[in-house]
């Protein structure tokens, strides 16, 4: 049996995650199987089980990776944009980019299946939304402080409304295959925060 190199293992693991992420974002977690991933990658199900012993472990790894990439995108946005309003527009743009690719927010689609998910996946989904709320609340507090944004309630409450609004707008735009529908809803949502 040929030796497997660590680099090949990492590449295979990443390829598995890439395919599984796309399948979850387009079909939902219950809508794909290890056989789907194995067939697409041309590997055995045993190889999948080597990297991820079960679907729950694969699901949790997907959320962790997706959340890390999303937070990296927010950090990058912080680094290049100082205006809170522009940061919120950039945030909505992340959602639009996912929808443009004919996908849903990974954690949004998993939230729809929340009750059927294993506990570690549930916790990871909640953590994703919590981290987003913290970032948004900070941006909103900055905007209130410098009088570029206006909203009722606390920054945390406004952050929850933004996430809920964007996730809902994605969900409703999806059956219409209409990015403009999402963008219009997002623009209206954010315009309500203008001073």
Among 186, 56, 61, 66, residue whose Cα is nearest residue 128: 66
The pLDDT of residue 7: 57
Per-residue pLDDT band at 6 (split at 50, 70, 90): low
Burial of 192 (0-12, 13-18, 19+ CB in 10 A): middle
In-domain check, residue 47: yes
- pLDDT at residue 145 tops 90: yes
In-domain check, residue 1: no
pLDDT in tens, 104-120: 999 999 999 999 999 99
Per-residue pLDDT band at 195 (split at 50, 70, 90): confident
In-domain check, residue 143: yes
Percent of the chain's residues with pLDDT above 90: 93
In-domain check, residue 148: yes
The pLDDT of residue 43: 92
Residue range of the domain that includes 88: 6-191
Number of domains in the chain: 1
In-domain check, residue 105: yes
Mean pLDDT across 133-150: 97
- pLDDT at residue 128 tops 50: yes
Q: Which tokens belong to 120?
A: 């570690």
Any idea what the CATH number is for the domain that residue 160 is in? 1.10.357.10
Q: Does 2 or 192 have the greater pLDDT score?
A: 192
In-domain check, residue 58: yes
The pLDDT of residue 194: 82
In-domain check, residue 163: yes
In-domain check, residue 152: yes
- pLDDT at residue 3 tops 70: no
Q: Are 147 and 167 in contact (CB under 8 A)?
A: no
């Amino acid at each position: 049996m040929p030796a497997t190199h660590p680099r090949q293992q990492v590449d295979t693991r990443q390829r598995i995650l890439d395919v599984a992420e796309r399948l979850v974002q387009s079909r939902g977690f219950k809508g794909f199987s290890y056989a789907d991933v194995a067939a697409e990658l041309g590997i055995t199900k045993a190889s999948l089980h080597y990297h991820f012993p079960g679907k729950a472990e694969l699901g949790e790894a997907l959320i962790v990776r997706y959340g890390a990439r999303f937070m990296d995108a927010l950090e990058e946005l912080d680094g290049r944009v100082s205006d809170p309003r522009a940061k919120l527009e950039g945030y909505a743009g992340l959602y639009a980019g996912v929808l443009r690719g004919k996908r849903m927010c990974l954690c949004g689609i998993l939230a729809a299946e929340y009750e059927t998910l294993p506990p570690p996946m549930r916790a990871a989904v909640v953590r994703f939304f919590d981290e987003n709320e913290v970032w948004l609340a900070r941006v909103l507090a900055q905007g209130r402080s410098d009088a570029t944004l206006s909203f009722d309630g606390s920054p945390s409450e406004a952050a929850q409304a933004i996430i809920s609004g964007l996730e809902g707008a994605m969900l409703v735009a999806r059956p219409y295959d209409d990015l403009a529908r999402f963008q219009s809803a997002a623009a209206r949502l954010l315009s309500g925060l203008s001073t």
